[in-house]
Homo-oligomer: A and B are copies of this chain.
């Protein structure tokens, strides 16, 4: 089968890879219906994360089950399924507490590479969630978003304890930040402040439910958030970038006693203990346990209540994955969907 392999920063190729097969009895093999390029795929693409060898890419996927191992009970051949970027047993203490991305048996799907025609999915019973009915092509786009960026934005909003009557500030206007806005709307936030200076992303933020836009960054951005929240800062802040500046901006935008959900992978970030201490805010972040939210997200999508796939602003066949990476790297695209 064909799949995406990154050879070096800037060097992405689509080439023949071995056919995936059942390795463990708890595995499934799926035929990928759609996959996409993640903001985090840009870290090695830009040389920020080291690449030691040619590496299969991709960890977002929806598709149809083609084969299951002997121990698989809940997933059947022919099921249309959604999984996320960590395979998880969904039965250990950590999974049952809702943190499947830290499952004691977690397997990173990025190590398998789902930008491909087929993929092996470990712990299939725990990892894969069946979609009821036959998704339309549009619904497939939305379900693919649920696989990572929607699930991650939703987790950030949940971690930030977004809810009715609350103000929410969203730092980051990438796909995750934008879907954090959508999650905040769905969770009933009263005021949703998106921080963006990019006209097209601002428009999508508005569509997803942003009530206010802030174009300032750093201290000025924080000052604007405070102006909009009675001088106190937002009840809930979503951080979806992962830099020193974005984390500081997010911490300082949260009111004392408020909640910050951070999902940007924190590269070269050092948090000052004294600042954090006196900020006196709740923090929760990390790789999103998307699995926790998938059943609910799939239901909302199949009822046509949410359209998270709107973040895909460029669609290319898998064979043109290299152009997809380039477009995201150059910020010509927010999020690239790869068709199969």
Given that A283-B283, A285-B280, A286-B279 are known contacts, is A102 also in contact with B256, CB under 8 Å in the complex? yes
A283 to B260, CA, bound (A): 10
Determine if A267 and B274 form an interchain contact, defined as CB atoms under 8 angstroms apart: yes
* A98 beta carbon closer than 8 Å to chain B: yes
| CB interface residues, A 75-124, toward B, < 8 Å | 93-94, 97-99, 101-102, 104
Given that A232-B94, A256-B99, A257-B94 are known contacts, is A273 also in contact with B283, CB under 8 Å in the complex? no
Given that A230-B93, A232-B93, A256-B94 are known contacts, is A102 also in contact with B271, CB under 8 Å in the complex? no
| A→B interface (CB under 8 Å) | 93-94, 97-99, 101-102, 104, 230-232, 242, 244, 247, 255-257, 262, 265-274, 276-287, 289
Determine if A286 and B282 form an interchain contact, defined as CB atoms under 8 angstroms apart: no
Q: Which residues of B contact A279 (CB under 8 A)?
A: 286
How many copies are assembled?
2
Q: Which residues of B contact A271 (CB under 8 A)?
A: 270-271, 273, 276
Determine if B282 and A287 form an interchain contact, defined as CB atoms under 8 angstroms apart: no
Q: Which residues of B contact A267 (CB under 8 A)?
A: 273-274
Q: Which residues of B contact A257 (CB under 8 A)?
A: 94, 97-99, 102, 289
17 A-B pairs in the complex with CB atoms less than 8 angstroms apart = A93-B232, A94-B232, A94-B255, A94-B257, A98-B257, A244-B273, A256-B286, A265-B274, A265-B277, A268-B273, A269-B274, A270-B270, A270-B271, A276-B283, A277-B286, A280-B284, A282-B282
Q: Which residues of B contact A231 (CB under 8 A)?
A: 104
